[in-house]
Structure 1
Amino acid sequence: MSGRLVAVVGPSGVGKDSLIDALCGARPWFHRVRRTITRPPGAGERFDSVSAEVFERMRRDGAFCLHWAAHGLRYGLRAEVEARVAGGQDAVANLSRGALPEAALVFPRLLVLNLTASPEVLAERLAGRGREEAEAIRARLGRADLEVPDGPWTAVTIRNDGPLEDTLARAVAALQPERA
């Protein structure tokens, strides 16, 4: 049986990467997907930084099983992720809500963990990471209430305003049935 792709989605600053780190710690068989992004390297998520030109060449050459644009950047999941999941391994990735329809075509067993948090918590977290000016933060907050589109996937909404341990417990419960 093929594995699952667990897509962690939600607005910027909601804690997607923190939850992914915690899930991989609690479920060591999960493959944590490392994204390729047209953003300079920096603190936070570990990703492969490439220029827009290199990204486009990689896309044309079939390096990605899934790619999308958001917030003026390009994001991609390497083709090896599709092979891992098809081979039976579960993987977890930070995805854009807008990429879910395409992801469902690539990953038939797609589980979506939709993280939410209050606007005040999101604003505080975005300001704390220091990557954007106030105008960019306002723009990201303006997209925070976008819904997960309907599709052929299972979606579970999890509030992430409190301790990460509570969010992790709700996410692990959403993974049922899972491997023993």
Structure 2
Amino acid sequence: MIFAVVGPSGAGKDTLLSGALAARPDLRLVRRVITRPTKAGGEDFEGVTEAEFQTRLAQGAFALTWDAHGLRYAIPHDQINGPQDVVFNGSRAALPEAVRVFPDLRVIVVTAPDAVLAARLAARGRETVSDIATRLSRAAFTLPDGIAATTVVNDSTAAEGISRLLAALQPVRA
């Protein structure tokens, strides 16, 4: 099974994913390729130049790509193969293409109230007050037509959010 976790900045996607992976060793996180220096920190990703990204794209190395916040992102083919369930931190804007590429994709939206998002964004210290306001203006969204998702509200402790994400990662019961 392939899961895409999407949601606004500050929702805690990386924190919840880290906790879910620790609790479920059978789950594998896709290591994304991003056109920013690896030393930029945050999640574990492969930082590449725009030229390297373009070369690998032309070689067919990526199953899915998208642009966001002035950067390019990719899910490499070699990251989604294998018997394990895989999860990737995706983009809401890329969901229509993701569903086309991965027909059985399950989408999980992680979100939190605006006040919680604002506090988390301010605490991480990477954005200006103006940047935070811009991110908050994009926090609410509607999924593209035909795409269903499970919503995880991350408005409490990390442990509670991880528990909610683990519940969303369970197989669908018929």
Which residue of the partner structure matches residue 110 of structure 2? 115
TM-score (norm 1): 0.87
Which of 100, 103, 109 is matched with 2:98 structurally?
A: 103
**Cα distance, 1:72 vs. partner?**
1.1
User: How far is 1:96 from its partner?
Assistant: 0.3
After TM superposition, the runs of 4+ consecutive aligned structure 1 residues lying more than 4 A away are none
Q: Are 1:30 and 2:27 counterparts?
A: yes
Tell me how many residue pairs correspond in the alignment.
171
Report deviation, 1:142.
1.3
- Structure 1 vs Structure 2: percent identity of aligned residues? 49
Other-structure match for 1:18? 15
Which runs of no fewer than 5 residues in structure 1 stay unpaired?
none
Letter in 2 for 1:158: V
Provide the rounded CA distance (Å) in 2 between the counterparts of 1:39 and 1:132.
Answer: 16
Tell whether the 8 Å contact from 2:80 to 2:86 is kept in structure 1 after alignment. Answer: no
Q: Does 1:68 align with 2:62?
A: no
User: Which residue of structure 1 lines up, in the alignment, with residue 139 of structure 2?
Assistant: 144
Secondary structure of 2:80's match?
helix
Give the TM-score taking structure 2 as reference length.
Answer: 0.90
Letter in 2 for 1:159: V
What CA distance in whole angstroms lies between the structure 2 residues aligned with 1:132 and 1:172? 29
Q: 1:171 aligns with which of 150, 165, 169?
A: 165
Which whole-Å deviations, capped at 9, do the CAs of 1:4-48 have from their partners, x for residues lacking one? 111111001111111111111111011111111112232321111
Consecutive unaligned residues of structure 2, counting only runs of 5 or more, are none
2:29·2:87 contact (CA, 8 Å) conserved in 1?
A: yes
Q: Using the alignment, how far apart are the partners of 1:156 and 1:117 within structure 2?
A: 14
Asked if the contact 1:31–1:89 (Cα under 8 Å) also holds between the matched residues in 2, the reply is yes
Cα contact 1:36–1:75 (8 A) shared by 2: yes
Which residue of 2 is the match for residue 133 of structure 1? Answer: 128
Show the counterpart of 1:157. 151
Q: What residue number does 2:55 align with?
A: 57
**Match for 1:46 among 30, 44, 49?**
44
Q: How big is the shift at 1:148?
A: 2.4
**What is the CA–CA distance in structure 2 between the aligned matches of 1:9 and 1:79, rounded to whole Å?**
20
